[in-house]
Structure 1
Amino acid sequence: MGNHVFQNLLSLLLFLVLSTAGCRESSKRGSSKQDSTQHISRSLDLYLPDDLEATLWAESPMFYNPTNMDVDIRGRIWITEAVNYRNYKNDSARFYHHRKGDRIMILEDTNADGKADLSKVFVQDKDLVSPLGIAVIGNKIIVSCSPSLIVYTDENGDDVPDKKEILLTGFGGRDHDHSLHAVYAGPDGNWYFNTGNAGPHIVKDKAGWTLRAGSIYTGGSPYNQKNQGNQKSDDGKIWVGGLALRIHPDGTGLQVMAHNFRNSYEVIPDSYGNLWQNDNDDQVVTCRTAWLMEGGNAGYFSTDGTRYWQADQRPGQDIFTAHWHQEDPGVMPAGDCSGAGAPTGIVINESDALGAEYLGLLLSADAGRNIIFGYHPILKQSGYDLGERKNFISSLSDDNTGYVWNDTAQNSQKEKWFRPSDVTIGTDGAIYIADWYDPVVGGHQLRDTSGYGRIYRIIPKNKKLTAPEIDLDTRNGQLLAFKNPAINVRNQGFEKLKQQGDAVVETLQPLLHDPNPFIKARTIWLLSQSGEKGKAIVEKILNDPDEKNRATAYRALRQITRDILPHAQKMAKDQSAFVRREVAISLRDLPYERTKPILIDLLRKYDGEDRWYLETLGSVLKGRESEIYPELVQLLGQGKPATQWNKQMAHVAWRLHPPAAVDALASRAADTLLSSEERQAALTALAFINDKTAARSMLRLSEIKLADISGQAAYWLSFRQSNDWNQLLDWNAIHFDPAYERRLAQMKVKKQIVLDDNQSTNERKWQVQRMAIDSVGGQLLIGMATEKKIPSILLPFIEEKIFQNPDASIRVQASKYFQRPGAGKIYSIQDISAMTADAKRGELIFFRNCATCHKSNSRGSAVGPDLNGIAKKFDKNSLLDAVINPSAAIVFGYEAWLVNTNDGRSIYGFLISDNKKSIVIKDIAGQNHVIEKKKISSKQKQDKSIMPDPVTNGLTEQQLADVVNYLMMRGAETGKH
C-alpha cells in the first residue's frame, strides 16, 4: 500500500450546527447547489496505490446513510438512502429520520471539477424502508426494497418519476439486511440481481412462473418470524438460502442462477457473462469472494435448507470448510476466504482509464474491515481462481484481520468508521466508493445519529477523467455508451444497437478486434442478437483461439438458438475444460435421452481434479445417477474393483453416490492400501446415500479396527440418525448411542475452535464456556488439561464455568487443573465443631450432595465407602477433617483414575477391572465404562480423591456442621443395633 491521501477536515462545530439543522428534516423536492465551504467534512486518510489518488466527491448533507449507488448516462451518481434504518431497533427520535419514507438522491458534478455540487431528491416514498439496491437503466430506476422490486419510470427526463410499478414482489427480508439487493444489466440484456437468506421468497414473475425458496433462518427483524427450507419451485428444483436471479426486463423469465448463500450483498455480471459475488459469513472468519457458477450451490445451509452449517460441521473440519460445506458432494468451491468482515459492493473494472494494470480488477468492498479488496481473477481448470487478494483501498495502514463487529474498543477508533457500502465505476472510468460511516456494522445496529455519509472518487494522479457526453440518438453515441465502463450505461447502447439488427453488424465487427477484451466479449453478445448475419459471426467465434471468447460465444448462442445440441456436440470435444463445463450446464434441463451421448463425451474428459467440472456434471445428472453409474464403472473405472479405481471414477462415484455404489464405497472406506483421505471421501459419499444398505454399511464400518474410519463412521451414524436415516434402521435394536455420539461430535467441533489461534478471543471464549458446562465437553477439557493443550488466555473463562458442570466427577477433576472461584477458603474444624448443628438439616444436605456416592441408612449409592457406622471409626473432628480435606487420606481401593481415549474423551473414576483387552472404570454416578485398551491414550492414578471438597459442593460452615452432626448421630444409632 502506498502513500495515504489526506482530505480536508472542517470544524466539528460547523458539523454540529449543520447536522442539528438536518435533523429538522426537509422533504422539499428539487435541487440544491452546494458550495464546497458548506460540506460537513469528516474525511479520513485513505491508503491506496501510489499512482492513484482519492478525492472527497460528495458528503452529507447532500445525502445521508448511502447503501447503494448507480451511474446514469450523464455520469451522475444515484444513491439509495437508508436513514430509516431498522427503526424497530434504532430509536427514530434519536437518529436522523425521514418520516415520509427513505429517498433516492441524484448527485452531479456540474462544472467537472471532480466534486459533486448539485443534489436533488428523485423520489421519497413510504414504501422505501432502507432500500439496498438501485439501478438506472434508461428511463427506468429499479429500486430493491424487500418485499418488492420497484420500477420508477421518468418518461420525460425531468428527474421526477411519472410511473411506479411493482415488477416483482414476495421476497422475504422486509426491513432486514439479508434481503433484496441491486439489479445489474447483463451483457445479454437480461437483468441480474440477488437476495439474502431472510426468506421465504415466494415470487411469481409476470408470466406466472413461481419461485419458492427458503431455509431454517428466521429472526433479525420482527417481520422474519417464519421460514422453511425444502420448498420446490415451478422448475421442480429446491432452492435455498440467498439466491442469484435473472429476469427479462419485462418481468418474465425469472430464473435462479445459483443459491444457498448467506447474504451476498451484490452479484455482478461481467461482459463475458460471468457472475461474481462476495458473501457474508456467520460472524466467524469465513467471508468469501467467488466466481459464481451457473446452478451452483454455495453451501451455507444443508442442501435442503433445513439445517445450519453448524449442525453439519464434522469433527476435524475447519470452520471455512464446514461453513460452506466444502467437503460435501453437490457444493461448489467457495472461492477466496477473506476472513472476518462484512462484505458489501462488488464490481469488475472493465476500463483502463486508471491504467492498464487495473483493467479487469475485481473490487470487493468490506465495510467491516474498512477496505476495498482487489483481485485479478485467473482462469483455472473450468472455473476462476481469485488470485492474490490485495488491500487495494483502506482507511487503515494495516489490514484489520482481527475484526470483531461488536468490539466497542476497536470501533471507537475513528479510522475504523470508514464503512464502504458500495463501489462502482463511473462513466469517466473513475472508481466511486460510498461510505456509510459508522462505528459499527452488523446486527442491524448503527451509532452515528446524524446519518453522515460520503462518496470518494479514485482517479489516476496527474490525469483528468471526464464523463463523456453520450447522445443515444446517434450511432456514435450508441457505440460510446456500449463501450462505457459503467455497467448499466453500456446496456443502453446495447439496446439501441440491437434494435437495428443486421444493419449494425458491419459497424460492430471492428469491435471484435478492440484491444480491450471486455469490449470484444460484450460485442459477441450483441452480435448474437443482431439478426442472422450477427449470429453467423458468433458461430465462427466458437473456433476463436481464446477459450474465454469461445465460451462466451457458446453462452450467447445458447440463449438465442432453439436447438443448442449440434453446437454442444461439437464443443463437448473442446480442449478447454471451461468451455466443456459451459456445454455441460446447457444440457441440464434438456431430455436425457438426447443429451446422454454428449454427457458421456464430457465425462470421458473429466481430469479427476476439477471440482467445478465435477459439480456441474453432478447437477446435470441429478435423478439419473443410478441409471448411468454401471456404464461409468466400465467407462471410467475400466471394470476394475472399487479399491483400484482411478481418481476420475472415485470422484465421480463420490459426487453421484447412487445406492448401487454402496458396496464399492464401503470397500474403499475399509481398504488400508488407500490413503486416509481416499477412505474418508468414500465414507462421506456413503453418508449421502439415503438408503438402508448405506446405513447398514456405515454401522459395520463403525466397528472396524481402522481408527480414522470407525470414529468417523460413528459420527455419521449419530448424525444421520437425526435426519436422513432416522427411519432406515431400528436404532433401539443396535448397540449404539447416537445421541451421545452427536454430542461428542459437537463438543469436538467446539474443541477445534478453542484450539484455533485464528479465531477471535470472543468466539473461543464462547465455545470453551459451552464445553465447560457440558458433561461431554467437560471431559474433553479435562483431557486437554492433562495434555497441557489449553491456551492460557482461555483459562479464566473455563474457571468461570467448569465448576458449574452438571457432572460431579468433572467438578472434582477440575479442581486439579483450574483455579476454583472461592479457592483458598479455609475452614476451621474447631469453629465448625463448636457450632450448634441440626441433624435434620444435615440429612437433607447429605441426600442432596453426598448420596450419589455414599450410602447411609440403606439409602444412596455404593460408589464410595458405606457411611453406616461411620461414628465408630471417626470422632466429630476427624470426620470434619475427612470431609473438608478428602484427598488427605484416600481409602485403599478408592483411588481415582483418569483415563484419556484416542477420540479425546476423559473418564474419571475407580478402576474396578483391568485385563489384556480392556479396563472398567466406575464413575462417580456408579456407571461402569468398559474401555478397550487400544483406544486408551493415557491412564493415570490421581493424587486427589474423587470426593469433592466443600467448596466444590458450595457448602457453608453451618452446612458442614449439620451434615457431620447427622452422620455422627446416624452412625451412633447404627452402631447400637
Structure 2
Amino acid sequence: MKHIYWFILLLPVVIGACQANKPTSTSTVEGPLTEAQQRLPENAVRGLKTREGLETTLFASEPAIMNPTNMDIDEKGRVWITEAYNYRNELNPGHPYKQAGDRIMILEDLDGDGKSDTAKVFYQDTCINAALGICVLGNKVIVSCSPNVFIFTDTDGDDKADKKELLFRGIGGIQHDHAIHAFTFGPDGKLYFNFGNAGDSILDRNGNVIKDAEGRLIANKGMPYRQGMIFRCNLDGSDLEVMAHNFRNNYEVAVDAFGNMWQSDNDDDGNRAVRINYILEHGNYGYTDEVTGAGWSSRRMNMEDSIPYRHWHLNDPGVVPNLLQTGAGSPTGMVVYEGDLLPPVFRNQMIHGEPGHNVVRAYPVKKQGGGYTAAIENILESSTDQWFRPSDVGVAPDGSLFVADWYDPGVGGHQVADLDRGRIFRVAPAGSKYKVSPPVLNTAADAVTALKNPNLSTRYLAWTKLHNMGASAEKELVNLYHSNNPRYRARALWLLSKLPNGADYIKTALRDKDEDIRITAIRAATEAGVTYGNMLVTDPSPAVRRQALLAMYHSHEADMPANWALLAAQYDGKDRWYLEALGIGADSNWAACFDAWRKLPPNKQHPEADNDIIWRARTPAALPLLAALIQREENDPMQNKRYFRAFDFYPAKESTPVLLGLLKGHHPKQDYINALAFMQLDAGALPRTGEMAKLLHNALQVFKDRTEFIDLVRKYKLRDQNETLLQTILNKPANEIQGYAMKTLLECGGQPLVVKRLQGKDTAAAFILVEAMGKAQDRPNRELLTALIRNKVYPAPLRELAARNLGRGWDGYADLWSLVERKLLPADLDTVTKDVLTHAWRQDVKAKAVAYYEPAVVNKALPPVEKLLAIKGDIPNGKKVFASYCSSCHLAGNTGVNFGPALSEIGSKLTKSAIYEAIIHPDAGISFGFEGYFFQLKDGSQVLGYIASQTDEEIDVRMAGGQGVKLRKTNIASRKAYEHSLMPTGLATAMSQQELVDLVEYLASLKK
C-alpha cells in the first residue's frame, strides 16, 4: 500500500476470534448514518455502489478478521487472508498480537449462503509481520513477508501449517510496503511475483546472492537492473529470471492464460502518475534513468512537459510505454478475470483494487499494434464510506469476485489508524448462491475440466495433475487445444509443450490462425528452447512480430540479426511498443542487428520509422546518423531534442567526438544546435580555444533567462556572465530558478555585484535578491544574509527579510540561532527572529528558541479532532491559509512548491480526520520517498532534506522550500536518517483554531 501522511486514531481493541460470527450484511437503520453507525459491519454494503447487474454482499468482517492486506481463494472456495495487526507495531505497545505475531486466516462458508461461518488461524508467529502476499497452491501456502518469502505446508490436512521453509530472503526491510509482494501461479507452471523499489536485492533460501542465467547480479545496482522488478522462477525458486524492471512500487503481477503479464505501479506521492503496465519481457519501465539511476525529477535533455509522464522517463529511448495512466492513487492487488459469471465487459480483463480512490475497477484492453490501449470500468466503489480501502481482489471457483477491504481512514503507509476492522466482500450477479464443490481429479478428463476453472488454485491442482500424468493426459489436452475458447487452448498448449514431443505442438501452434495462440507458442518455444528460424518475420500481426522480437533477447542464433532487420523494416514509425520490442530484441547484439538493418532499402513508406530506429539504437554506428538527423536543414533543433538525449546512452568516449563535430556545422539554426551540444558535452572535453569560447558565448544567448543558461554558466565556470545572472534573478522573482541563479552567481565571483545592488536605491531589487539568497541556502548566501542582518546601514525591512530568509534551511536556522545565542543579533530584529525560530521546523533549534523566548508558555493545546470536525470551515479562507502556511512546501493545483507530497487530490484519499492528524502529528506518518536525511559535508556544512535521486557519483537532495542541491558523494562525510518529518510539528498551533479548520476544509475539497 502507498505511503502518504497518516495519523493515529485510537479505537478499542477487538481481537478476532477463531470461530467467526456470521456477518450481517443488511442495515436495519433508516435514513442517514451517523459516523459510528457507518463503521458497523452491518452497514458496510450500504456505503458502497455496485455496478449495475451485480450485487455486493458482506462475506466476513471484524471481529473474525482485521486489517486484511492480501487474499487468495482455494479450490474449496475458502478465502485465505494475511492480516497486519502488527503493521508498524511499534505504535501499538502492549497488544497481545505484538508478541504472538500476525495471523494467516482461513474463512469458510459452510452452508452456501455467501457468508463466512468459520475463521481458522492457519498460522500465527512473529515471523509473520504485516505480510503483503499469499498464494495457496494445494497444501502449500506461499507467504510474502518482507524481507522473507516463506512456504508453509499442511502435511496432514488439518488446516494448520506443519512445516515452514524459506523460499527467498533479503528482500528489503521488515514491513516495507515497497518490497516483496504476492506470488501467482502462471499458465506455464512457474511462479511469478514482484517487488517494489525497496526490494533492492534478493537472496536464495540459504542467503546466497542470486544471479541471472548470464551471471548478472539481480539487485538494484544498475547492472543492468534497477528499482522494482518482476520475476519468474520454478516452483522451488530455482532459475530465477527478471522479467522486467525499473518500477517504483509494482504491487502485484497478474498473468493471463497466454502468458501476458499485467500490473499496476505506484507513483511518488502526489504526482498523479499511477500507471497500469502491460509487460514486455525484459523491458525497462523508466522509473529512474537507465544509465545513471537519477530520479525522474532530475533535469535532463528532452524532459516531458507533464510531471505524470516525466515521472516515467517516457521520452527516453529504451523505456516501454505505459498502458494507462490513472492519475493519483494507491494501487494494490490485481487479477485477470478469466471467468464468465461477471458481465462481458469484465471477462478476460484485469480487475484491480485502488484504495486511494476507494474503488475496484477493471481496465478493458483493446489490441493496438504491438501493444494495447485500455479504459476504466468501475465494479465496486464507495458511495459514502471513504474508509473503503480495497487491498486485494480474487476470483472464486464459481467465478464470483472477492474483495479484501483494509477498511481504514488512510491508505497504508508508515502507519495504521484503525487496528480492529476489516471486511471481505463477494461481488456476483444478484441472487447468485455461493456453492463450491472441490474439483475431482481422478482422470485426465477431470483435470482438464478443472483446468478451465477461473480460480487459480484450482488450475494449479489441475495443471499439476496433468503435468504429472505426462503422455497419458495428451489426448484430453489435445481435445482441449481444439476447443473454441482461446484461453482454454492456451492452457492446453502450455502443458502439451512440456511433453517429450512438445516441440511438435509448439511448431504447429506457431502457424495457428489465432494470433494469441501464436504468441503463446513463441513464449512456450522460448522456455523450451525450441527454435523456429524466420517463420514469423512476415507474420501479419504486429503483436506476433513484437513477441518474436522479444524472444530474440540475447539470442545466439546465427540468423538472428537478419531476422531482426526484416522485423525492423516493418516498423511503421508510430507503434512505440513495437519500437521498444526492437530495442529489447537487439540488446547485447546491436552492432550486428543494426548493420543487417542498414543493408536493407530505406523505409520509403514510413521514413520516420528509420529515424526512430536510429534514435533507439545502442551502437556507435548510429551516432553519425543521429548527428546527420540533427543537421538536416528542415529539422528544428529545438523540436528534435530527443536526438540529443540519445547521446546520453553512449559512453563519453563514443559520443564526445560526434558532439564536437556538431559544433562545426552550418545549419540555419546552428547556434541552437551548438547550445544543445554544449549541454550534452562533458566540460572537460571542450578544447579551450578562442573559437570554442566564441561558439559557447553565442550558444548562451539561445538560453537567455532559462535554466539551461545557468546550467551552461555553471558547467563551464563562466565568470563573464554575472550581470546576466543578476538580471535573471531580478526578472524571475517568483521563478524556481531564482535560487539556482543566485547560487551560481556567487560561485562565479558575483558577490560584489550583489552587494552593490543591495546598497543601491532600488529597494524592490534588494528585496528580490534577499529572497533569492534564502532559496539558495548554501554557505556563501547564508554568510551574505548574516552580514546583511548585522549591518544597520541597510534598512530595517530589508534586514527583517534577511532574517526570515536565513531561517529557511537547516544550517540557516543554526546560523540565526547562533546570532541570538552569541548576543550578536541587533535588537531591532528580535521580534522577527523570535517568530522565525520558535516556529522552526528544525526541532533542536526550535526547542532552544522556545526555551529562550517563551520559558513560561505552555504549548497551545488543540481540542480533540472529533471536536474540530464539528466546527464549520470556510473553503475560500482555507485556500488563503494554505498559501500562507503550506504553499512553501506543497502543491495544490497550480499553487505552491513541489517539495513535499502534492496535495492536489488529497481529499480523495484522506478523510478530514486523517488530514487533521497529518497536520497535527506529521512525525506519525512520513511518506515513503520523503524521509529526511541529514548530511554532514567535509567542508563542515550540513544539509537536511529528502533524497530525490542518487547516482554512483552524486545525491540530489531537495530541501524545504523546494530548492535542490546535488552533493558529490566524495564530499559527504556522513549521512544519517532524520528522526522527524520535514514538515514542521508546530504548524497546527502556529495558526488560529479557525484557520486550521478552514485549511482542512479546503484540503478535503481537493478531489479528483
TM-score by length of 1: 0.67
CA distance in 2 between counterparts of 1:349 and 1:173 reads 32
Measured after TM superposition, the shift of residue 848 of structure 1 is: 9.6
For the residue of structure 1 that corresponds to 2:461, the secondary structure is helix
**1:767 aligned residue:** none
**1:868 aligned residue:** none
Measured after TM superposition, the shift of residue 849 of structure 1 is: 9.2
In the TM superposition, what are the counterparts of 1:456-475 in structure 2 within 5 Å? 456-475=425-444
Q: Contact (CA 8 Å) 1:362, 1:374: kept in 2 or not?
A: yes
Letter of the 2:439 counterpart: I
1:290 aligns with 2:282: no
Residues 579-599 of structure 1: per-residue CA shift (max 9 Å, x gap): 122222222232264522322
CA distance in 1 between counterparts of 2:705 and 2:470 reads 65
Measured after TM superposition, the shift of residue 334 of structure 1 is: 1.4
CA distance in 2 between counterparts of 1:20 and 1:850 reads 54
**1:956 aligned residue:** none
In the TM superposition, what are the counterparts of 1:239-388 in structure 2 within 5 Å? 239-283=225-269, 284-304=271-291, 306-312=293-299, 314=302, 317-386=305-374, 388=375
**2:492 aligned residue:** 523
Measured after TM superposition, the shift of residue 515 of structure 1 is: 4.2
CA distance in 2 between counterparts of 1:457 and 1:506 reads 37
Measured after TM superposition, the shift of residue 127 of structure 1 is: 1.1
Q: Contact (CA 8 Å) 2:25, 2:42: kept in 1 or not?
A: no
Measured after TM superposition, the shift of residue 662 of structure 1 is: 2.8
Residues 154-183 of structure 1: per-residue CA shift (max 9 Å, x gap): 111111111111011121243211010000
1:440 aligns with 2:405: no
In the TM superposition, what are the counterparts of 1:542-941 in structure 2 within 5 Å? 542-561=510-529, 564-565=530-531, 567-591=532-556, 593-637=558-602, 646-674=607-635, 679-692=640-653, 694-695=655-656, 697-698=658-659, 714=675, 717-718=678-679, 725=682, 728-729=685-686, 735=693, 745=707, 779-781=731-733, 812=764, 844-846=791-793
User: Residues 377 and 111 from structure 1, CA distance in 2 versus in 1: closer, same or farther, beyond 3 angstroms?
Assistant: same
Measured after TM superposition, the shift of residue 496 of structure 1 is: 0.2
Letter of the 2:58 counterpart: L
Measured after TM superposition, the shift of residue 732 of structure 1 is: 11
Q: Contact (CA 8 Å) 1:703, 1:710: kept in 2 or not?
A: no
1:230 aligns with 2:195: no
Residues 904-958 of structure 1: per-residue CA shift (max 9 Å, x gap): xxxxxxxxxxxxxxxxxxxxxxxxxxxxxxxxxxxxxxxxxxxxxxxxxxxxxxx
Residues 757-811 of structure 1: per-residue CA shift (max 9 Å, x gap): xxxxxxxxxxxxxxxx9996774456899xxxxxxxxxxxxxxxxxx99996998
In the TM superposition, what are the counterparts of 1:39-54 in structure 2 within 5 Å? 40-41=41-42, 43=44, 44-54=46-56
**1:431 aligned residue:** 401
CA distance in 1 between counterparts of 2:483 and 2:756 reads 72
Letter of the 2:448 counterpart: L
Alignment RMSD, CA only? 4.3
Mark the structure with the bigger radius of gyration.
1
Measured after TM superposition, the shift of residue 295 of structure 1 is: 0.5
Q: Contact (CA 8 Å) 1:142, 1:183: kept in 2 or not?
A: yes
**2:93 aligned residue:** 93
CA distance in 1 between counterparts of 2:581 and 2:53 reads 42
Measured after TM superposition, the shift of residue 819 of structure 1 is: 14
Residues 481-539 of structure 1: per-residue CA shift (max 9 Å, x gap): 2111112321110110111122212212332344443222211112212442x653443
**1:453 aligned residue:** 422
Q: 1:499 aligned to 447, 468, 480, which one?
A: 468
Measured after TM superposition, the shift of residue 630 of structure 1 is: 4.3
For the residue of structure 1 that corresponds to 2:89, the secondary structure is coil
Deviates more, 1:170-179 or 1:508-517: 508-517
CA distance in 1 between counterparts of 2:225 and 2:395 reads 32
User: Residues 265 and 500 from structure 1, CA distance in 2 versus in 1: closer, same or farther, beyond 3 angstroms?
Assistant: same
CA distance in 1 between counterparts of 2:208 and 2:497 reads 28
Q: 1:393 aligned to 362, 374, 380, which one?
A: 380
CA distance in 2 between counterparts of 1:268 and 1:731 reads 56
CA distance in 1 between counterparts of 2:684 and 2:664 reads 21
Residues 113-137 of structure 1: per-residue CA shift (max 9 Å, x gap): 0111110100012111111000001
Measured after TM superposition, the shift of residue 343 of structure 1 is: 0.6
Measured after TM superposition, the shift of residue 470 of structure 1 is: 1.3
- More contact order relative to length (CA 8 Å, sep ≥ 6): 2
CA distance in 1 between counterparts of 2:708 and 2:421 reads 44
Taking every aligned residue pair, what percent have the same amino acid on both sides? 33
CA distance in 2 between counterparts of 1:194 and 1:691 reads 34
Measured after TM superposition, the shift of residue 370 of structure 1 is: 0.8
1:484 aligns with 2:475: no
Q: Contact (CA 8 Å) 1:70, 1:136: kept in 2 or not?
A: yes
User: Residues 627 and 509 from structure 1, CA distance in 2 versus in 1: closer, same or farther, beyond 3 angstroms?
Assistant: closer
Q: Contact (CA 8 Å) 2:329, 2:357: kept in 1 or not?
A: yes
Q: How many residues align?
A: 722
Deviates more, 1:503-512 or 1:138-147: 503-512
Structure 1 residues not aligned, in runs of 5+: 1-15, 214-226, 233-237, 397-413, 750-772, 786-803, 821-839, 853-977
CA distance in 1 between counterparts of 2:167 and 2:489 reads 32
For the residue of structure 2 that corresponds to 1:201, the secondary structure is coil
For the residue of structure 2 that corresponds to 1:570, the secondary structure is coil
For the residue of structure 1 that corresponds to 2:640, the secondary structure is helix
Q: Contact (CA 8 Å) 2:70, 2:404: kept in 1 or not?
A: yes
Letter of the 1:210 counterpart: I
Q: 1:417 aligned to 383, 387, 393, which one?
A: 387
CA distance in 2 between counterparts of 1:473 and 1:32 reads 34
Residues 625-662 of structure 1: per-residue CA shift (max 9 Å, x gap): 34443443342537x9xxx9922221111011433333
Q: Contact (CA 8 Å) 2:554, 2:587: kept in 1 or not?
A: no
For the residue of structure 2 that corresponds to 1:55, the secondary structure is strand
Measured after TM superposition, the shift of residue 371 of structure 1 is: 1.2
User: Residues 22 and 384 from structure 1, CA distance in 2 versus in 1: closer, same or farther, beyond 3 angstroms?
Assistant: same
CA distance in 2 between counterparts of 1:47 and 1:709 reads 60
Letter of the 1:64 counterpart: M
Letter of the 2:264 counterpart: N
Measured after TM superposition, the shift of residue 366 of structure 1 is: 0.9
CA distance in 1 between counterparts of 2:98 and 2:180 reads 21
Letter of the 1:625 counterpart: W
CA distance in 2 between counterparts of 1:708 and 1:421 reads 55
User: Residues 630 and 331 from structure 1, CA distance in 2 versus in 1: closer, same or farther, beyond 3 angstroms?
Assistant: same
CA distance in 1 between counterparts of 2:100 and 2:201 reads 27
Q: 2:74 aligned to 72, 75, 83, which one?
A: 72
In the TM superposition, what are the counterparts of 1:936-951 in structure 2 within 5 Å? none
